Amino acid sequence: MSLPLPALLVSPLQVSLDLAGISVFALSGALVAVRKKLDVVGVLVLALVTGLGGGMLRDLLIGAVPPATLQDWRYLLVPMLAGLVVFRFHPRIARIEPYINVSDALGLGLFCVTGSAKAMQYGLGPVPSALMGVLTGIGGGILRDLLAGRTPIVLRQEVYALPALAGALVVVVPWELGLYRPWVAIAAAGVCIALRLLAIRFRWEMPHAGSLRG
Amino acid sequence: MSLPLPALLVSPLQVSLDLAGISVFALSGALVAVRKKLDVVGVLVLALVTGLGGGMLRDLLIGAVPPATLQDWRYLLVPMLAGLVVFRFHPRIARIEPYINVSDALGLGLFCVTGSAKAMQYGLGPVPSALMGVLTGIGGGILRDLLAGRTPIVLRQEVYALPALAGALVVVVPWELGLYRPWVAIAAAGVCIALRLLAIRFRWEMPHAGSLRG
Amino acid sequence: MSLPLPALLVSPLQVSLDLAGISVFALSGALVAVRKKLDVVGVLVLALVTGLGGGMLRDLLIGAVPPATLQDWRYLLVPMLAGLVVFRFHPRIARIEPYINVSDALGLGLFCVTGSAKAMQYGLGPVPSALMGVLTGIGGGILRDLLAGRTPIVLRQEVYALPALAGALVVVVPWELGLYRPWVAIAAAGVCIALRLLAIRFRWEMPHAGSLRG
């Protein structure tokens, strides 16, 4: 990547994609908050945390502070608007939840790619960078579930981290080999999205170790 | 603000106010720990986390590391003393809990003001700075509830974040307009404290979205 | 300490000890995940978080970013391998759990010493540095329990934080007096390990405040 960091951060396409991913994640966070009977503050906080939490954790860990999402008010406004929309229209939003799950796969694909690429830009090696890509994708949902008082769904049921890992690997391996190009990013997001959609479609589940007592 | 940052940080009045706010928050954290039957370590950890957690999260996010509260041993000693007092004398402390709730409003007013002002000093915009003010006020209580194994009360019941947001807005809007003066800080804290006390007095509740199934 | 930081970080003995401590902590995290019926992702995440979480929290707070454990792929590989071993062979691993608990005491002794020494190196005072030593020892287990959906065991039952505090104090007091030598580190780890093993052997428990209602 020969682009200086600031140029990358302000690319209008990148910002638009980021905001799209954040808003879909925020919708899922707000829906969980409504289901858990939280009040309007809870809905807004879960929308913010689900939309921004993964990227913030990544930025804290790679040393990109203040996190990008605290340097641009749009990154805060979009998830709060998503939260207010869910708070007001939740029965209608709940009816389109299958579509939200599909859009969520797009957000996951985007986040695992931008997350691992940003970690590589900040000088981390390929293995930690892949982990940062996964964290960007699943961190918000983990914080959402902790705040909502349930065991994080990504740790016990859903095939969600694996597609993110696959996408992140498609970023970091070519990057390490000096072969990273824009189309690689698109391919990486595509791999993640396809795996996630297949997992939803065919109700894949990750294996369990079974009971220790059994 | 023409004062350099170090001067601000070491102002004796500021430190005294900070310590007062931290100790009240720490008392509430220790009481929750006693009620949840945690041991003396749990009481001390919850006192520390409730008193210092919000400011630490803010400092991590705005890039003020190490957090101010790790650079002065008094910031650690005060909440630990508060924890030990509650551990030893909790039945008496529990009897004065209504007064603790009132004092807690003073801590909230102080924290939302210092939190949003510090974020502005570190170059964040007004919207993120207001959010940092709210985080400084509610972050410790959220961490306390997570560690104690309950859904954070600020997300489901209490009118607590809204007064903090009001106080933070009274800081960041004048600051952005170049009109920030010391009396503005006092007015901002007053707005937050008044709203919080009214919320306690009249048992205000934030609206809920109702059941998604209903 | 006249050694420059990078030399300290790459000392082969230090890295080997770190990896040993991390792997024991990771085993305990993975066992909790299996018991809580998490899937393979949950087992891996809890192995990583338990092994690396305490040190990462410390590094974030003292400003050592990216954390050391994100700058060397071995720090990620070792806990993931530990997680996979538990996932595959958990009945056998569960049978040797008493030995894991003993090894865990070694990890605790190591972490409280390296954690408090690193904080002193980064310029924190002795009281915050001792706290960072305790955090390095107990932080991973706290995150593990939060993610597994249970109240952190260190806050309610086990004598675990106190040995870490004792070890950390044996580091920071001589350091502050200019008397820190390598054998002091060994003595500090020994104090922590001995206390922890005594606590396991004699089933020590930390005092509780009793019920507030009682």
Cis peptide before A66 (omega within 30 of 0): yes
- Residue B214: pLDDT over 90: no
Q: Which of C31, C61, C43, C174 is nearest to C113 (CA)?
A: C174
Quote the radius of gyration of chain B (alpha carbons, Å). Answer: 17
Higher-confidence position of C2 and B79: B79
- Inter-chain Cβ pairs, chain B and chain C, closer than 8 A: 89
Contacts of A40 in chain B (CB under 8 A): 206-209
**Hey, of B28, B70, B74, which one would you mutate to test binding to chain C, going by the most C CBs within 10 A of its CB?**
B70
Query: Chains with 3 or more CB pairs closer than 8 angstroms to B?
Result: A, C
- Which residue numbers of C have CB closer than 8 Å to A's CBs? 31, 33-43, 45-46, 48, 56, 60, 65-67, 70-73, 76-77, 86-87, 90-91, 94, 146-149
Q: Could you say which of B61, B154, B207 has the minimum Cβ distance to residue A66?
A: B61
Decide if B94 and C151 are in contact by the 8 Å CB cutoff: no
Q: Average pLDDT in the B141-150 region?
A: 96
- Name, in order, each residue with C-beta under 8 angstroms of C172's C-beta and a sequence gap of 6 or more: C116, C120, C126, C127, C129, C130, C133
| Shortest Cα–Cα distance, B152 to chain A (Å) | 7
Higher-confidence position of C9 and A138: A138
Query: Chains with 3 or more CB pairs closer than 8 angstroms to C?
Result: A, B
Q: Average pLDDT in the B169-194 region?
A: 96
Decide if A149 and B150 are in contact by the 8 Å CB cutoff: yes
Q: Could you say which of C43, C56, C71 has the minimum Cβ distance to residue A209?
A: C43
* Nearest residue in chain A measured CA to CA from C93: A212
**d(C-alpha A137, C-alpha A99), whole Å:** 18
Q: What is the ipTM, given to two decimal places?
A: 0.91
Q: A90 is written with which tokens?
A: 């939740």
* Nearest residue in chain A measured CA to CA from C30: A209
Helix, strand, or coil (residue B159) = coil
Contacts of B65 in chain C (CB under 8 A): 60-63, 65
Contacts of B45 in chain C (CB under 8 A): 155, 161
Q: Which of A57-71, B13-27, B111-125 has the lowest mean pLDDT?
A: B13-27
The predicted pLDDT at position C10 comes to 52
| Shortest Cα–Cα distance, B32 to chain A (Å) | 17
Do C139 and C53 meet the contact criterion of CB atoms below 8 Å apart?
A: yes
The predicted pLDDT at position A10 comes to 53
- Residue B131: pLDDT over 90: yes
Contacts of B62 in chain A (CB under 8 A): 65-66, 70
- Name, in order, each residue with C-beta under 8 angstroms of B5's C-beta and a sequence gap of 6 or more: B121
Contacts of A152 in chain C (CB under 8 A): 42, 147
| Shortest Cα–Cα distance, B113 to chain C (Å) | 23
- Inter-chain Cβ pairs, chain A and chain C, closer than 8 A: 89
The predicted pLDDT at position C142 comes to 97
Q: Where are the alpha helices (DSSP H) in A96-176?
A: 97-121, 126-148, 161-176
* Nearest residue in chain C measured CA to CA from B144: C151
- Which residue numbers of B have CB closer than 8 Å to C's CBs? 31, 33-43, 45-46, 48, 56, 60, 65-67, 70-73, 76-77, 86-87, 90-91, 94, 146-149
Decide if A90 and B209 are in contact by the 8 Å CB cutoff: yes
* Nearest residue in chain C measured CA to CA from B95: C212
> What secondary structure does DSSP assign to C145-203, as a single string?
HHHHTS--GGGTT-S-HHHHHHHHHHHHHHHHTT---HHHHHHHHHHHHHHHHHHHHTT
Decide if A91 and B212 are in contact by the 8 Å CB cutoff: yes
pLDDT above 90: percentage of residues in chain A: 80
Contacts of C206 in chain B (CB under 8 A): 39-41
Decide if B40 and C208 are in contact by the 8 Å CB cutoff: yes
The predicted pLDDT at position A98 comes to 86
Q: Could you say which of C34, C42, C76 has the minimum Cβ distance to residue A128?
A: C76
**d(C-alpha A98, C-alpha A180), whole Å:** 34
From first to last of its 214 residues, chain C has per-residue pLDDT tens of: 344 444 444 578 878 888 999 999 999 999 999 999 999 999 999 999 999 999 999 999 999 999 999 998 999 999 999 999 999 999 998 898 888 888 999 999 999 999 999 999 999 999 999 999 999 999 999 999 999 999 999 999 889 999 999 999 999 999 999 999 999 999 999 999 999 999 999 999 899 986 444 4
The predicted pLDDT at position C134 comes to 98
Q: Average pLDDT in the B157-168 region?
A: 95
The predicted pLDDT at position C126 comes to 97
The predicted pLDDT at position A214 comes to 40
Q: pLDDT band at residue B10, thresholds of 50, 70 and 90?
A: low
The predicted pLDDT at position A109 comes to 96
Q: Average pLDDT in the A136-149 region?
A: 97
Q: Average pLDDT in the A8-37 region?
A: 87
Residue C69 vs residues A112, B44, C51, C140, C145: alpha-carbon distances, Å: 20, 28, 10, 13, 21
- Which residue numbers of C have CB closer than 8 Å to B's CBs? 60-63, 65, 122-128, 131-132, 142, 146, 150-152, 154-157, 160-162, 205-209, 211-212
Residue that the structure tokens 């960091």 belong to: A5
Residues A176-213: pLDDT tens digits?
999 999 999 999 999 999 999 999 999 998 999 864 44
> What secondary structure does DSSP assign to A79-106, as a single string?
HHHHHHHHHHHHHHHHHTHHHHHHHHHH
Q: Average pLDDT in the A99-103 region?
A: 88
| Shortest Cα–Cα distance, A16 to chain C (Å) | 28
Decide if A209 and C86 are in contact by the 8 Å CB cutoff: yes
Determine whether C210 is exposed, middle or buried from the number of CB atoms within 10 Å of its CB (0-12, 13-18, 19+). exposed
The predicted pLDDT at position C132 comes to 98
Whole-number average pLDDT of chain B: 91
Backbone angles phi, psi at A208, to 5 degrees: -110, 160
